[in-house]
Structure 1
Amino acid sequence: MNPSYYVQLYILVLNLKKKKLTLLTQGQFYLNMILFLLQPYFSHFYPTFYLAHQLKSDGQRVVFTATDNLRTKVENEGFEFFDFEFIPEYIMTGTRLFFGILLESGVSQDRCLKRKEEFQKSFLSTQKLVKDLNPDQVYIDQSIAKYYFFFAPYVKNIKIIHTKVYSGKVSNIPPMNSTYIPRKSIVSYLKVEYLWRRELLGQRIREIILRIAFLGKDEIFLWRKHCEKHKIEWKKRIDFKHSLNWGNKNLENIVLIPRKIEFSNFKKNDDIFFSEDIFLKNETQYLTKDYCDFKQKYAVKKENKIIYMAFGTLARGTKVSGFFNAVISIVEELPKTILIISTGNHSLKLIDKNCSFIFDYLPQQDVLSYADLFITHGGLGSIKDAYHYEVPMLVVPMNKYIDQNGNASRVKANGFGERIDIDNYLEREIEQKLIRLLYPIDYLLKNFHKTSTT
């Protein structure tokens, strides 16, 4: 019999003696059952895979839960996947929608009853997960941290996981969607306080609008009733002082970015932990013959400066095409400089120049291993990749309402690169920043080397 079987059996006996729960599934022993509940977008899943693989290698059973469209990506990473029923989000996009919901709520009560049914359906989905899996520990995405209240009656060990920068209010740190770079001054403290008051006021106004539309029986009402029923202290647990979404008090927060990417003046509480690790992807499917030929010709010999430009899923529209074409024209005039572009398989009307090489998809981490500069939309995953490979960045935020503005500000503040406003730029500004980043006066290298040795 395989000797490893006896090792596993010995570990099982030890854990039973320590009264630790051990699972036996398909002939494998598991120390604990770990569940990840994440926002159902792959950009929220990808950052968690390093931690999930680490937990699995330590002998834990790891399961992800979300909507079914993410099943294949999760299972390809070697993890189990279970469906979850989320509560639909209502975002008031105009007065017509507001008055439509208000009228429906007042005349027939159908809308309020439907909202209650949606809430209850999601809770039943939680109960089914708990019954089927009996999780020892649950990691909940901060952007949906309210689901803590569903799991709290059944699971003691719940942690909040941040796939973006830390979203809670911290002294002299602006909201994560702000362009402002804080400084150590009274003026900065006052400016940041103003930005937070504006951010939180906007959230309260949106909540009041929903409350009126649902005649008082909005989502907050349903959560309060749920907490009363299950004897959870709502006021002691809910934390409204977060960017974009609610948070939770008195829970451990794991922020999936290296500490050095955050503003240097960030003073973390005892319940905030940063992760220094970067998930290295399997990029085999993107190692096409055309790409490998390009790499052999330009990356191996390294006779040219190589700029990599990619905007992920946001690489679409005339605004992006215009910016990409501006960069192509500028790079064409730079000596011994080439540009490699990933369009994300979006249809972009790009000019044809000898300096540019255009691909639908590229193995990003492989490209960054030899690139001299990365022009990015500012998604946190891309910034972490560039940080890992010590590649200077020119950040061009596309979605300014979530975290990309704040990510760009952190890149600039920490000396990892520059930023450009895609709605207000001059080609001369792009050219100057490209040259500054391609031929730095050592300050970029100093910043990267400083972080890699701490």
Structure 2
Amino acid sequence: MQTALFLFPALMGHLNPTIKLAKHYATEGFSVYYGGTPELVGFTQKHGFQFHAMNSISFALGLEDLLHEDKKEKWLESLVDRHTNKLYNHRKKDIEDLIKVINPDLIFLDEFNYSDFILLYPFLEKRKLVILQTKFPMYYHPNVPPLNTYAFPNSDAEKLWKTYFRKYIWRYFLNDLKFFGKGDLSILRQKFKEQKIPQKFQINTQKVFNPTFNNVEEWFLIPQELDFPEQQLLPWQKYVGPMVMTDRQENLEANYLNFIKKKETYQNSKLLYCSLGTVLKSHLTHRKVNINTFFKAMIDIAFENPSLYFVITLEKSMRSGLKTKSENIIFLDYAPQIDILSKADVFLTHAGPGSVFESIIQATPMLLFPLNDKWDQNGTAARVVYHGLGKKADLADSKQSIEQAIFELLNNKSYQQKAQTLSTLLLEKYSNENYLKDFFSTELLVQ
């Protein structure tokens, strides 16, 4: 029996899009494993996959500080780790053990674990490796702006790229200075050279976010139909499509079901679903915004508009001081997102790709609140707006501005019509049972 391995971090936004892919390989007779830290156990058990525990994290990602958060001399500890290759050696041993135990035929490597390619390279002579991207293409293109910006094709794209690369070079210079020549990119280049990897696979830094490698098969788990038409992929890249599991099992709790039932008893009522992602706290560290002000605006809008029913997901630790004023709004720790989106009239979202694709599949227009410019939410929001599927807003917008945007999405039928058209197209193209089989049977993975 052949074995497929998904080497991934414990990030649900990265894991969820792989479920459909993993299940496909399982039906094709593969034994499917996920490799990663113990936090992945629950995910793999829930979906019936096997798990290989790893005690290390990928090197050259600037993660050393995470290992020393509770230490007074965090910088010194990280400096020693980098100059003694501690993180690299630990990861190298973990990768060697993983290959020995699982012996995978096919390896899917998450973009966040990109540096593992250097450690996996010696084992790839008889194995195939694919880097999986859950974001839109992020490589330099003169007419397509960087993915971390809310901008459109040809709208000063070249200028935005120059600004990004200037900051990029400065950031890595400071990183090298901070660690006496052992910055992330310097370590990556050093290990690439030490492993004697051919220049065919040279490190590619002409992109936003993490570097990657040329001529390594790379799949984007997104639909080409939602990208900018001007976007062009490199020869070793391809769009796979939105890996949305519309039939996944979700826990429909009684309070949620009762709320939906109550909403349905009122004629002409509208359902609004608000979820700002599973890592909201992390994103907010980059912004000086009072999140309570935003959610208080939601509470006030609900109170002033009895026909609007709000379902909001927000963990209890972040709900301090938030008290609802009416019965047409509910806060949940967990929301069955696919079920809600199938009923919602508008989705208020942080513009994470997974949430955006699920919204489109359910033909739900979006009000987008990108949380920071360090990731891809601005670029994803720009594509949604470009295709007429929603509007962009900001967490710091006034209650009146947000309310106006909500009613624009509810009353202007073009948003729902365009969402429905794209939903139909994507479902017809990517939900075909033979789609994945046909896709993979005609593709030759790059060695």
TM superposition score category, shorter chain reference: 0.7 to 0.9
| 1:132-151 pair list within 5 angstroms | 132-151=101-120
Q: Is this contact kept in 1: 2:130–2:219, CA < 8 A?
A: yes
Q: 146, 159, 165: which one pairs with 1:175?
A: 146
Q: 2:295 aligned with 1:324, yes or no?
A: yes
Q: How far apart are residue 263 of structure 1 and its match?
A: 2.1
Partner of 1:312: 277
Q: How far apart are residue 366 of structure 1 and its match?
A: 0.4
Counterpart residue type for residue 246 of structure 2: L
Partner of 2:32: 62
Partner of 1:442: 414
Partner of 2:371: 398
Deviations 1:14-64 (A, max 9, x none): xxxxxxxxxxxxxxxx2x211111233222111111111111111112111
Larger Rg computed on CA atoms: 1
Partner of 2:424: 452
| 1:363-442 pair list within 5 angstroms | 363-423=336-396, 425-442=397-414
| 1:207-356 pair list within 5 angstroms | 207-234=172-199, 236-274=201-239, 275-280=241-246, 282-285=248-251, 287-299=252-264, 303-314=268-279, 319-334=290-305, 336-348=307-319, 349-350=321-322, 351-356=324-329
Counterpart residue type for residue 408 of structure 2: R
Relative to the length of structure 2, the TM-score reads 0.83
The 1-side partners of 2:96 and 2:86 are apart by 15
CA shift in 2, pair 1:253/1:236, >3 Å? closer
CA shift in 2, pair 1:428/1:122, >3 Å? same
Aligned residues: 407
Q: Give the secondary-structure state (helix, strand or coil) at the position aligned to 1:257.
A: coil
Counterpart residue type for residue 26 of structure 2: K
CA shift in 2, pair 1:276/1:370, >3 Å? same
Q: How far apart are residue 443 of structure 1 and its match?
A: 4.6
The 2-side partners of 1:201 and 1:192 are apart by 14
The 2-side partners of 1:405 and 1:228 are apart by 35
Deviations 1:415-439 (A, max 9, x none): 110111223x233321221111011
Q: Is this contact kept in 2: 1:374–1:393, CA < 8 A?
A: yes
Deviations 1:353-402 (A, max 9, x none): 23322322221110111111111122222111101101000011223311
Q: Is this contact kept in 2: 1:174–1:180, CA < 8 A?
A: yes
Partner of 1:42: 12
The 1-side partners of 2:87 and 2:305 are apart by 57
Q: Give the secondary-structure state (helix, strand or coil) at the position aligned to 1:176.
A: coil
Stretch moving more, 317-326 or 75-84? 317-326
Stretch moving more, 442-451 or 236-245? 442-451
**Unaligned stretches of 5+ residues in structure 2:** 427-447
Q: Give the secondary-structure state (helix, strand or coil) at the position aligned to 1:158.
A: strand
The 2-side partners of 1:203 and 1:253 are apart by 23
Counterpart residue type for residue 57 of structure 1: T
Q: Is this contact kept in 2: 1:299–1:370, CA < 8 A?
A: no
The 2-side partners of 1:195 and 1:48 are apart by 32
Relative to the length of structure 1, the TM-score reads 0.82
**Unaligned stretches of 5+ residues in structure 1:** 1-29
Partner of 1:130: 99
Q: Give the secondary-structure state (helix, strand or coil) at the position aligned to 2:290.
A: helix
Q: Which one has more relative contact order, counting CA pairs under 8 Å at least 6 apart?
A: 2
Q: 2:87 aligned with 1:118, yes or no?
A: yes
Identity %: 26
| 1:19-30 pair list within 5 angstroms | 30=1
Q: Is this contact kept in 1: 2:393–2:402, CA < 8 A?
A: yes
Q: How far apart are residue 245 of structure 1 and its match?
A: 0.4
Stretch moving more, 273-282 or 235-244? 273-282
* Aligned-residue CA RMSD (Å): 2.8
Q: Give the secondary-structure state (helix, strand or coil) at the position aligned to 2:309.
A: strand
Q: 2:130 aligned with 1:159, yes or no?
A: yes
Q: Give the secondary-structure state (helix, strand or coil) at the position aligned to 1:381.
A: helix
Q: Is this contact kept in 1: 2:35–2:52, CA < 8 A?
A: yes
